[in-house]
Amino acid sequence: MRRAFLFVALAATAASASVPFHEWKDTSFRASIDEAAKAKQPVVLIVTQPDWCPPCIKIDKRWLKNPADTELRDIVKAAMVLEVRGYEEAGAKLLKKEGVAFQGTPTTFVYAPPAPKTTLGQAKLLGSIIGAPDDYPAQLRSILASEGDALAPLRAAVEQAGDNVARANALIELATAAMGRGESAGADSALLRVGDLKGNPQNALELAAFKRKAAWLRASVVTLRVRKDYKKALEQIDAYAAASPIIDGEREGFGYSRAWALLHLGQRDAAIAELDMSLPKTVDGTDSFLYFCFRSDDPALWTLGAERAKTALAADPEAGVLWQGLGRIQRRLGQLEDAERSLVRAVALTEEGDDRLSYEGQLETVRAEMAAAAPRKAAR
């Protein structure tokens, strides 16, 4: 379902926003980067999806668009701050054109002043922040104050490791940082190095655990999430399972990742079967299933998710997280009034904290869409 006005919103600057976002359109993003180059401004690029992504809503409400917060505004006052919705068609296409890859939302990229007439992805990347950590302002301040390569200390730690177990750990830390920056080649290289390390009888089991973790990160993050090579990801996921049995603690993540690859390879029924086999029969398991359905672009899965949510809520009507899951799927289905009621219920059942903040943000989005739709209804 297309919502044309959402792309307009990604360039808009709220009058009360704490952080002064640079206004742009899909046709003027390139001019904005050239403007930063001319002014020798660093660029803070926030890849977000604040209409449904919980940490995106947190980062907006606590800092980026909180008029009561001035700390972040002061931190970025010398930078050009741009915001792109990374999972929507227009924003995703723009990021690809600019050579910017990302692991998930929100990701905050900090680039040194770009060179004129170059893509943003060609600018020097000073650092990145994944998610909305509680020390987000401090991290952003530190990155903006830096001049060197943020990965240099991690590379040095690899070379300075005293043994191969320590080296494996350092390589995984390096790969994790590279994945967060969308640098799939660097992450892949580091993880492959883990697989090549040799152990001894004293550390063989510990090293084997690091190798298994590296193999999983290659499959589930580098290939599946960053590169979005679903065929290769499925091959790597299945090779991971073939190497040794999936243990209980891995089952949910394994099944979810495998189902996501299957779905994008056109195997919807197999994806559903994988989820049904892998997810626990609990509220959390149902929440994961609903999230999977919501994230898909398949209306049949949205309908299935809504049915599953209603069945689960009949058994546990006080589960706020399930009301939230139902509400955002109803929004996907265009059932805005139903979505509003579900999200109101989710907010009422949830204590103060990040979850409730997220539900409130989603409720605000639904109400904004209802207000935008009202004049069109009246005109009919």
Nearest in space to 152 (alpha carbons), one of 144, 141, 160: 160
Q: Answer yes or no: is 154 within a domain.
A: no
Q: Which residues contact 330 (CB under 8 A, 6 or more apart)?
A: 306, 336, 338, 339, 342
Q: With contact defined as beta carbons under 8 Å apart, do 175 and 158 qualify?
A: no
Q: Does 321 lie in the same domain as 199? A: no
Q: Does 293 lie in the same domain as 239? A: no
**What one-character DSSP code corresponds to residue 120?**
G
Q: Does 77 lie in the same domain as 11? A: yes
| Strand 43-48 to 80-85 pairing | parallel
List, for the chain, all residue ranges whose pLDDT scores fall below the cut of 50.
1-16
Q: Answer yes or no: is 11 within a domain.
A: yes
What is the structure's pLDDT at 248? 84
Nearest in space to 6 (alpha carbons), one of 63, 65, 85, 76: 85
Q: Does 342 lie in the same domain as 304? A: yes
Q: Does 87 lie in the same domain as 132? A: yes
Last residue within a domain, chosen from 262, 279, 296: 279
Q: Answer yes or no: is 86 within a domain.
A: yes
Q: Answer yes or no: is 220 within a domain.
A: yes
Q: Does 48 lie in the same domain as 22? A: yes
Last residue within a domain, chosen from 279, 303, 321: 279
What is the structure's pLDDT at 3? 39
**What one-character DSSP code corresponds to residue 210?**
H
Say if residue 140 is exposed, middle or buried (CB neighbours under 10 Å; 0-12, 13-18, 19+).
buried
Q: Render pLDDT for 80-110 as a digit per residue (tens, 0 to 9).
A: 999 999 999 889 999 999 999 999 999 999 9
* Whole-angstrom distance, CA of residue 167 vs CA of residue 173: 10
Last residue within a domain, chosen from 259, 279, 299: 279
CATH number of the structural domain spanning residue 199 = 1.25.40
Q: Does 192 lie in the same domain as 71? A: no
CATH number of the structural domain spanning residue 83 = 3.40.30.10
Domain extent, residue 263, equals: 164-279
Q: Answer yes or no: is 150 within a domain.
A: no
Q: Render pLDDT for 291-345 as a digit per residue (tens, 0 to 9).
A: 999 999 999 999 999 999 999 999 999 999 999 999 999 999 999 999 999 999 9
Q: Does 290 lie in the same domain as 271? A: no
What is the structure's pLDDT at 25? 85
CATH number of the structural domain spanning residue 297 = 1.25.40.10
Q: Which residues contact 234 (CB under 8 A, 6 or more apart)?
A: 258, 261, 262, 265
* Whole-angstrom distance, CA of residue 37 vs CA of residue 40: 5
Q: Answer yes or no: is 155 within a domain.
A: no
Task: Return the structure tokens found at 192.
Answer: 């492959």
What is the structure's pLDDT at 374? 77
Q: Does 348 lie in the same domain as 268? A: no
What is the structure's pLDDT at 7? 37
Q: Does 125 lie in the same domain as 93? A: yes
Kindly state the helix (H) or strand (E) to which residue 312 belongs, with its residue range. Answer: helix 299-315
Q: Answer yes or no: is 174 within a domain.
A: yes
Q: Answer yes or no: is 92 within a domain.
A: yes
* Whole-angstrom distance, CA of residue 328 vs CA of residue 341: 11
Q: With contact defined as beta carbons under 8 Å apart, do 162 and 148 qualify?
A: no
Q: Does 123 lie in the same domain as 86? A: yes
Q: Which residues contact 171 (CB under 8 A, 6 or more apart)?
A: 158, 190, 191, 193, 194, 214
Examine residue 106 and say whether the peptide bond preceding it is cis (omega within 30 degrees of 0). Answer: yes
User: Structurally, how many domains does the chain consist of?
Assistant: 3
Q: Does 91 lie in the same domain as 68? A: yes
What is the structure's pLDDT at 263? 98
Q: With contact defined as beta carbons under 8 Å apart, do 123 and 102 qualify?
A: no
